[in-house]
Amino acid sequence: MFSAYIVVGALTAAANGFAAAMDFLRPAWLIEKMTRVRVRRWMLGPLAVLKIAGAVGLLIGIGVPALGVAAGVGLVLFFVGAIAAHVRVRDYASIPTPGLFLLLAAAALVLRVASS
């Protein structure tokens, strides 16, 4: 289980690191999606910081299990909120992206708990 956590945790951390980088770079496609979901541009920085915190927490969680669990819980809640934001504005076509991130975060969380 621990080896699986390392792989899934690292993959989840990398995906969230990439997503955070996109939040900071603000490409047109991301701005268009965020505008559709009614996320203001100034919110992208704080959202990116939360993703980075979750990614770093998962990586540190390899050696500090409690931090890995906390980071997993935080990312799960973050992406549940992201899906809720899409549902709120009836943007169902965009749900697969935060849904994939939610599945990765949930898998990392389950594996970290199971390997503790």
For the segment 54-110, what is each residue's pLDDT rounded down to a tens digit? 999 999 999 999 999 999 999 999 999 999 999 999 999 999 999 999 999 999 999
**Per-residue pLDDT at 116:** 82
What pLDDT digit, counting tens, does each position of 19-28 carry? 999 999 999 9
Q: How far is residue 45 CA from its own chain's centroid?
A: 14
**Closest by CA position to 42, among listed 23, 55, 21:** 23
What pLDDT sits at residue 53?
A: 98
**Looking at residue 40, what DSSP letter applies?**
-
Q: Are 112 and 65 contacting, i.e. CB atoms less than 8 angstroms apart?
A: yes
